[in-house]
Amino acid sequence: MCIDGWRFFDKSLYEDKHLGIYTVKNSLPKQKTTIVVDKKLWKDFLSFVVKKHGTTRKTSVEIESAIREYLNHHGKEV
């Protein structure tokens, strides 16, 4: 299947007929977790997410991005 030059396997592409949009399923497994963070740091991070995305709904995406960036910068040091 090809949409605007992008090819997708049938199982990774979902069409919402009510909204007329396509969504690509992320095939990587996700891990739910709980963290304890300084209250001001968390508030500042959420403000960053809202400024970038206009909502807090992308908080997980930004946390995952920050973890990846940290690991790329520091390696997998133990």
Q: The whole model's pTM is what?
A: 0.61
Residue 7's pLDDT is: 52
Residue 36's pLDDT is: 97
Helix, strand, or coil here: 11?
Answer: helix
Cα gap 42→59, rounded to integer Å: 11
CB 22 within 8 A of CB 14: yes
Q: How many domains does the chain have?
A: 1
Domain that holds residue 68: 2-74
CB 50 within 8 A of CB 56: yes
What are 12-68's pLDDT values in tens digits? Answer: 555 556 666 666 566 678 899 999 999 999 999 999 999 999 999 999 999 999 999
